[in-house]
Amino acid sequence: MANNNNCYHFFSHESQSNLMVVVLILLVLVLNRCHFTSGLESESEALLKWKQSLPPQPVLDSWVNVNQSSPCSWRGITCDPQGSVTTINLAYTGLSGTLQNLNLSAFPNLLILDLKTNNLTGTIPQNIGVLSKLQFLDLSTNFLNGTLPLSIANLTQVHELDVSRNDITGILDPLLFPDSSDDPRTGLISIRNLLFQDTLLGGTLPNEIGNIRNLTLLALDGNNFYGPIPPSLGNCTHLSVLRLNENQFSGTIPPSIGKLTNLTDVRFFTNYLNGTVPREFGNLSSLVVLHLAENNFIGELPPQVCKSGKLVNFSAAYNGFTGPIPVSLRNCPSLYRVRIEYNMLTGYADEDFGVYPNLTYIDFSYNRIQGEISSNWAGCENLQVLRMAGNSISGNIPAEVFRLSQLAELDVSSNQLAGEIPQEIGDPSTLYELNFSGNRLSGVIPVQIGRLLGLQSLDLSMNMLLGQIPNTIGNFNNLLKLNLSNNDLNGTIPYQIGNLAALQDFLDLSFNSLSGKIPDDLGKLENLISLNISHNNLSGSIPESITKMLSLSFINLSYNHLEGPMPKGRIFNSSSTADLSNNKDLCGNIKGLQPCDVSINVPSSTSNKHKVLVPLLASLGGAFFVSLVFVAIFFFIYKQHSGSSRQNSLNMKPNPFSIWYFNGRVVYGDIIEATKNFDSEYCIGEGALGKVYKAAMKGGQVFAVKKLKCDEENLDSESIKTFKNEVAAMNETRHRNIVKLYGFCSEGLHTFLIYEYMDRGSLADMLGNDLRALELDWPKRIDIVKGVASALSYMHHDCNPPLIHRDISSKNVLLSSDLKAHVSDFGTARFLKPNSPIWTAFAGTYGCAAPELAYTMAVTEKCDVFSFGVLALEVLIGRHPGDLVSYLQTTTNQSINFKEILDPRLSPPNNDDKHVLKELALVANLSLSCLQTNPQSRPTMRTVAQLLDMDNNS
Q: Which residues are catalytic?
A: 807
SS3 track for 413-456: CCCEEEEECCHHHHCCCCCCEEECCCCEEEEECCHHHHHCCCCC
Verify binding: residue 437, ligand NAG, rule CB under 6 A: yes
Q: What angle do CA 193, 937, 867 make, to 5 degrees?
A: 85
Position 875, amino acid:
V
CB of 260 to ligand NAG, least distance (A): 13
CB of 252 to ligand NAG, least distance (A): 16
**By C-beta, is 83 or 379 nearer to ligand NAG?**
83
Q: For 259, phi and psi rounded to 5 degrees?
A: -90, 0
**By C-beta, is 490 or 886 nearer to ligand NAG?**
490
Query: Which among 182-190, 510-518, 732-740, 866-874 is the span making contact with ligand NAG, rule CB under 6 A?
Result: 510-518
Q: Which of 554, 638, 657, 682 binds ligand NAG (CB under 6 A)?
A: 554
Query: Which among 170-178, 530-538, 759-767, 905-913 is the span making contact with ligand NAG, rule CB under 6 A?
Result: 530-538
Is 394 in contact with 417 (CB distance < 8 Å)?
A: yes
Verify binding: residue 456, ligand NAG, rule CB under 6 A: no
| DSSP conformational letter for 21 | H
Verify binding: residue 283, ligand NAG, rule CB under 6 A: yes
**By C-beta, is 127 or 405 nearer to ligand NAG?**
127
How many whole angstroms separate alpha carbon 877 and alpha carbon 898?
10
CB of 356 to ligand NAG, least distance (A): 21
**What residues are paired with 322 via a beta bridge?**
300
Q: Which of 68, 69, 100, 105 binds ligand NAG (CB under 6 A)?
A: 105
Verify binding: residue 459, ligand NAG, rule CB under 6 A: yes
CA-CA-CA-CA dihedral for 575, 576, 579, 585, to nearest 10: 90
CB of 415 to ligand NAG, least distance (A): 9
Helix (H), strand (E) at residue 623: helix 604-644
Q: Which of 221, 246, 280, 726 binds ligand NAG (CB under 6 A)?
A: 280
| DSSP conformational letter for 311 | -
Q: How many C-beta atoms lie closer than 10 Å to residue 236's C-beta?
A: 23
Binding pattern to ligand NAG, positions 612-651, x when CB under 6 A? ----------------------------------------
CB of 483 to ligand NAG, least distance (A): 6
Q: Which of 301, 389, 421, 931 binds ligand NAG (CB under 6 A)?
A: 389
**By C-beta, is 508 or 919 nearer to ligand NAG?**
508
**By C-beta, is 298 or 803 nearer to ligand NAG?**
298
**By C-beta, is 409 or 951 nearer to ligand NAG?**
409
Q: Which of 118, 147, 264, 532 binds ligand NAG (CB under 6 A)?
A: 532
Verify binding: residue 260, ligand NAG, rule CB under 6 A: no
Position 560, amino acid:
N
By rule CB under 6 A, what count of residues binds ligand NAG? 34
Q: Which of 87, 530, 577, 719 binds ligand NAG (CB under 6 A)?
A: 530
- Distance between alpha carbon 728 and the CA centroid of its chain, in Å? 24
**By C-beta, is 414 or 581 nearer to ligand NAG?**
414
**By C-beta, is 430 or 513 nearer to ligand NAG?**
513
Footprint on residues 197-226 left by ligand NAG (CB under 6 A): none
Q: Which of 485, 499, 737, 751 binds ligand NAG (CB under 6 A)?
A: 485
| 836 contact partners, CB below 8 Å, separation of at least 6 | 710, 714
Is 373 in contact with 417 (CB distance < 8 Å)?
A: yes
Verify binding: residue 537, ligand NAG, rule CB under 6 A: yes
Q: How many C-beta atoms lie closer than 10 Å to residue 740's C-beta?
A: 17
**By C-beta, is 345 or 872 nearer to ligand NAG?**
345
Query: Which among 482-490, 779-787, 811-819, 938-946 is the span making contact with ligand NAG, rule CB under 6 A?
Result: 482-490
Is 247 in contact with 273 (CB distance < 8 Å)?
A: no
| 847 contact partners, CB below 8 Å, separation of at least 6 | 870, 880, 881, 882, 883, 885
How many whole angstroms separate alpha carbon 335 and alpha carbon 363?
13
Is 469 in contact with 488 (CB distance < 8 Å)?
A: no
Q: How far is CA 320 from CA 297, 323, 352, 577, 803, in A?
A: 6, 10, 19, 45, 16
Verify binding: residue 561, ligand NAG, rule CB under 6 A: yes
How many whole angstroms separate alpha carbon 720 and alpha carbon 728?
12
Query: Which among 109-117, 147-155, 433-441, 909-917 is the span making contact with ligand NAG, rule CB under 6 A?
Result: 433-441
Between strands 506-508 and 464-466, the pairing is: unpaired
Verify binding: residue 52, ligand NAG, rule CB under 6 A: no
CB of 623 to ligand NAG, least distance (A): 17
**By C-beta, is 637 or 901 nearer to ligand NAG?**
637
**By C-beta, is 435 or 499 nearer to ligand NAG?**
435
Verify binding: residue 372, ligand NAG, rule CB under 6 A: no
| 872 contact partners, CB below 8 Å, separation of at least 6 | 785, 788, 923, 924, 926, 927, 930
Verify binding: residue 515, ligand NAG, rule CB under 6 A: yes
CB of 755 to ligand NAG, least distance (A): 25
Footprint on residues 756-775 left by ligand NAG (CB under 6 A): none
Query: Which among 165-173, 338-346, 431-439, 696-704 is the span making contact with ligand NAG, rule CB under 6 A?
Result: 431-439
Verify binding: residue 510, ligand NAG, rule CB under 6 A: yes
CB of 740 to ligand NAG, least distance (A): 19
Verify binding: residue 414, ligand NAG, rule CB under 6 A: yes
Verify binding: residue 860, ligand NAG, rule CB under 6 A: no
Residue closest to 501 by CA, chosen among 531, 523, 534? 523
On the CB side of 721, CA atoms within 13 Å amount to 4
Query: Which among 265-273, 478-486, 618-626, 757-765 is the span making contact with ligand NAG, rule CB under 6 A?
Result: 478-486
Verify binding: residue 413, ligand NAG, rule CB under 6 A: yes
How many whole angstroms separate alpha carbon 251 and alpha carbon 273?
5
Between strands 112-114 and 85-89, the pairing is: parallel
Verify binding: residue 508, ligand NAG, rule CB under 6 A: yes
379 three-class SS: helix
Q: Which of 6, 223, 224, 649 binds ligand NAG (CB under 6 A)?
A: 6
**By C-beta, is 223 or 485 nearer to ligand NAG?**
485
Residue closest to 602 by CA, chosen among 591, 623, 590, 587? 587
Verify binding: residue 943, ligand NAG, rule CB under 6 A: no
Q: How far is CA 360 from CA 312, 335, 395, in A?
A: 10, 9, 24
Between strands 683-686 and 690-696, the pairing is: antiparallel
How many whole angstroms separate alpha carbon 736 and alpha carbon 822?
7
Q: Which of 37, 42, 224, 499 binds ligand NAG (CB under 6 A)?
A: 42
On the CB side of 486, CA atoms within 13 Å amount to 16
Nearest residue to ligand NAG, scored by beta-carbon proximity: 532
**By C-beta, is 260 or 776 nearer to ligand NAG?**
260
Given phi > 0 = left and psi -120 to 50 = alpha, else beta, which region is 481? beta
Q: Which of 186, 435, 762, 867 binds ligand NAG (CB under 6 A)?
A: 435
Position 408, amino acid:
A
- Contact residues for ligand NAG (CB under 6 A)? 6, 42, 103, 105-106, 279-280, 283, 304, 389-390, 413-414, 435, 437-438, 457, 459, 481, 483, 485-486, 508, 510-511, 513, 515, 530, 532, 537, 539, 554, 556, 561
